[in-house]
């Protein structure tokens, strides 16, 4: 994830659905679920991580099946002890956090967990030589040190209200990862952790197979084998689920709907912070004009996108935070107003020209909008956005491309992007919008630069009381209405379909990254086969 802004728990790669579509992920296990007793499960996901190393960002928001953090989040997203035996002791006015480790925890190779492993993990991530683009999320840490084998003490530069939520970050063993380059070492594809599952095989672009960890401190899982089949194309994923090749899958709402009539399967809906937005690069000749960005914000029909693209499984997005979030700035909701969009463009000198497309000083109001291949939901958003824009006199050409093609072009071209993080506004907004991270991997893709927003982000990050922070994030959201760097479209409910053969599956309120470690399999280690 880098920051997880675009794709998976580490920055996920674009998938070619063809290779995955023609190979059965069960690997000779007799089909989904093996013998049908629920001891194994095959799940279809849209993407895979580039790496399985937390040092490079994998699993940094929790729910990794290979690793554990000091803390974890329960079904209601409340923090709970994991590798730590209790929540941290906070002292020195919020500047120190002390964690006492759970006793008897072993890594999957049998070596014991110690405080040195925790220190190694955080120090490596904070090292500027490590290619972890989410490093800024740990900016508050001044020092991390061991206090004997059983305690870890974090000293902060400034009181950081949501710091405990950052310690869901997975801990890696120093004895396995410490003797190699964190950017290129074998640990990236041969991980060792304390989690409920162990990676047993990884065929890039096709599938990852996990086996239950008999040394797991929480007890060996009843589901003994898990296969994540990597299928980038939504339609292919639905087809393979229907054919019985998969036990479960993440699907767009319209493709999940037919499964509601299947008595052998159960559909799960998860509310999320996951938004779809169109980045409008400030370096673009057309998108760099604030009037164009303001007009697009007024011209889009968000309600229609929720109804027609998401089949009602979502909410209009008026900014990066969903309307039902406690931090949402009340009053910024705004309906589609095509007349307003046209007035904005007229005042800014964009006059109607040939074919109804506006122009200014010989420059047509036209640009390209990229969306990832195989992602039907983003494709439909891109086409709807282009249609709405044309009614205002702006010509948007939607173009499908793999992420490898999109990445070098996103500085200049618009992208149908996604993002959103749970836990605290700082967790998603800072990397999304702060000018210091412009062009840093997938952070701040459009290179948005607003002193007002930067100040609000810094205040929200360093604020010591909720009122100060709430005011800062209100200011930020209202500034994004005045000076948008993106056109936020929808917040999406995540929809999953799963064979009804287990007790225990539930869902959480989810971030943008989902499917691989989220969804009803976020607590896979707690599942039990139905009798």
226's enclosing H/E stretch is: strand 225-230
Give me the residues paired with residue 230 across strands. Answer: 45
Rounded CA-CA distance 170/152 in Å is 14
Question: What's the domain count of the chain?
Answer: 1
| Other CB atoms within 10 A of residue 212 CB | 22
Rounded CA-CA distance 177/173 in Å is 6
Contact 227, 26 (CB under 8 A): yes
**Confidence at 216, pLDDT banded by 50, 70, 90:** very high
Q: What is the pLDDT of residue 459?
A: 96
Contact 225, 240 (CB under 8 A): no
Q: What is the pLDDT of residue 125?
A: 97
Q: What is the pLDDT of residue 103?
A: 97
- The fraction of the chain above a pLDDT of 90, given in percent, is 83
Q: What is the pLDDT of residue 325?
A: 94
**Residue 52 pLDDT > 50:** yes
Q: What is the pLDDT of residue 11?
A: 32
**CATH number of the domain bearing residue 347:** 3.10.105.10
**Residue 266 pLDDT > 50:** yes
| Other CB atoms within 10 A of residue 65 CB | 25
Domain extent at residue 409 = 275-492
Instruction: Compute the 3-state secondary structure of the chain and give helix, strand, coil in percent, each to the nearest 5.
Output: 30, 25, 45
Rounded CA-CA distance 329/93 in Å is 29
Edge-to-edge, what's the strand order for the sheet holding 358-360? Answer: 351-352, 358-360, 363-364
**Residue 435 pLDDT > 90:** yes
Mean pLDDT of the chain: 91
- The fraction of the chain above a pLDDT of 70, given in percent, is 93
What's the average model confidence in pLDDT over 471-479?
98
* pTM of model > 0.75: yes
In-domain check, residue 359: yes
Q: What is the pLDDT of residue 153?
A: 98
In-domain check, residue 63: no
**Confidence at 37, pLDDT banded by 50, 70, 90:** low
**Confidence at 63, pLDDT banded by 50, 70, 90:** confident
In-domain check, residue 120: no
Q: What is the pLDDT of residue 359?
A: 98
What's the average model confidence in pLDDT over 320-338?
96
In-domain check, residue 335: yes
For the chain, give me the number of helices (H) and strands (E)? Answer: 14, 24
**Residue 26 pLDDT > 80:** no
* Cα dihedral sign, 144-145-147-152: positive
What's the average model confidence in pLDDT over 209-238?
95
**Confidence at 14, pLDDT banded by 50, 70, 90:** very low
Q: What is the pLDDT of residue 278?
A: 98
Q: What is the pLDDT of residue 517?
A: 79
Distances (CA, A) of 379 to 67, 113, 157, 284, 487: 34, 45, 44, 22, 15
Contact 410, 402 (CB under 8 A): no
Rounded CA-CA distance 525/196 in Å is 6
Q: What is the pLDDT of residue 374?
A: 85
In-domain check, residue 390: yes
Task: Kindly provide the residue ranges of all beta strands, DSSP E only, lying in 362-482, ordered along the sequence.
Answer: 363-364, 366-372, 395-401, 414-419
Rounded CA-CA distance 132/138 in Å is 11
**Residue 24 pLDDT > 50:** no
In-domain check, residue 213: no
In-domain check, residue 424: yes
Which residues touch 435 (CB under 8 Å, ≥6 apart)? 444, 447, 448, 449, 450, 453, 454
Q: What is the pLDDT of residues 226-256, one digit of tens each?
A: 999 999 899 999 999 999 999 999 999 889 9
In-domain check, residue 268: no
Rounded CA-CA distance 508/502 in Å is 18
**Residue 93 pLDDT > 50:** yes
Q: What is the pLDDT of residue 5?
A: 32
Rounded CA-CA distance 210/501 in Å is 19
Contact 118, 144 (CB under 8 A): yes
- Return the closest-CA partner of residue 280 out of 97, 417, 147, 183: 417
User: Which 3 state secondary structure label does DSSP give 228?
Assistant: strand
Rounded CA-CA distance 484/482 in Å is 6
């Amino acid at each position: 994830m880098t920051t997880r802004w675009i794709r998976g728990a580490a920055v996920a790669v674009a998938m070619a659905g063809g290779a995955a579509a023609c190979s059965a992920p069960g690997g000779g296990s007799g089909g989904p679920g093996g013998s049908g007793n629920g001891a194994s499960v095959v799940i279809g996901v849209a993407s895979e991580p580039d790496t399985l190393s937390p040092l490079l960002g994998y699993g940094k928001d929790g729910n990794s099946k290979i690793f554990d953090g000091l803390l974890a989040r329960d079904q209601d997203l409340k923090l709970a002890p994991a590798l730590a035996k209790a929540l941290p002791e906070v002292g020195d006015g919020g500047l120190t956090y002390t964690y006492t480790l759970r006793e008897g925890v072993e890594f999957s190779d049998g070596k014991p967990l110690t405080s040195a492993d925790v220190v190694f993990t955080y120090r490596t991530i904070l090292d500027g030589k490590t290619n972890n683009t989410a490093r800024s999320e740990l900016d508050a840490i001044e020092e991390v040190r061991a206090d004997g084998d059983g305690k870890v003490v974090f000293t902060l530069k400034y009181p950081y209200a949501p710091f405990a939520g950052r310690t869901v970050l997975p801990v890696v063993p120093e004895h396995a990862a410490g003797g190699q380059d964190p950017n290129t070492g074998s640990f990236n594809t041969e991980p060792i952790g304390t989690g409920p599952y162990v990676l047993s095989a990884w065929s890039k672009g096709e599938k990852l197979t996990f086996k239950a960890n008999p040394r797991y401190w929480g007890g060996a899982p009843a589901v003994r084998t898990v296969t994540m089949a990597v299928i980038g194309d939504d339609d292919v994923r639905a087809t393979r689920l229907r054919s019985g090749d998969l036990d479960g899958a993440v699907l767009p709402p319209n493709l999940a709907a037919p499964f509601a009539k299947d008595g052998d399967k159960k559909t799960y809906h998860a509310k999320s912070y996951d938004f779809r937005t169109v980045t409008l690069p400030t370096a673009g000749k057309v998108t760099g004009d604030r009037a164009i960005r303001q007009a697009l914000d007024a011209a889009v029909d968000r309600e229609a996108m929720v109804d027609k693209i998401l089949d009602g499984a979502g909410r209009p997005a008026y900014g990066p935070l969903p309307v039902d979030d406690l931090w949402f700035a009340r009053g910024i909701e705004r309906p589609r107003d095509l007349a307003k969009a046209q007035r904005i463009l007229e005042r800014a000198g964009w006059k109607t020209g040939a074919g109804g497309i506006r122009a200014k000083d010989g420059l047509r109001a036209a640009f390209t909008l990229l969306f990832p291949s195989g992602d039907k939901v983003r494709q439909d958003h891109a086409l709807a956005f282009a249609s709405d824009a044309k009614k205002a006199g702006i010509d948007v050409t939607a173009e499908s491309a793999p992420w490898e093609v999109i990445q070098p072009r996103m500085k200049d071209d618009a992208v149908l992007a996604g993002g959103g993080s749970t836990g605290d506004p700082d967790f998603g907004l800072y990397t999304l919008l702060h000018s210091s991270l412009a062009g840093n991997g997938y952070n701040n893709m459009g290179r948005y630069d607003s002193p007002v927003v930067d100040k609000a982000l810094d205040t929200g990050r360093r604020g010591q009381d909720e009122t100060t922070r709430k005011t800062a994030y209100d200011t930020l959201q209202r500034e994004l209405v005045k000076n948008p760097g993106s056109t936020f479209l929808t917040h999406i409910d995540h929809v999953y379909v799963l064979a009804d053969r287990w007790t225990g599956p539930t869902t959480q309120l989810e971030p943008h990254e989902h499917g691989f470690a989220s969804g009803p399999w976020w607590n896979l280690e707690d599942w039990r086969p139905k009798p």
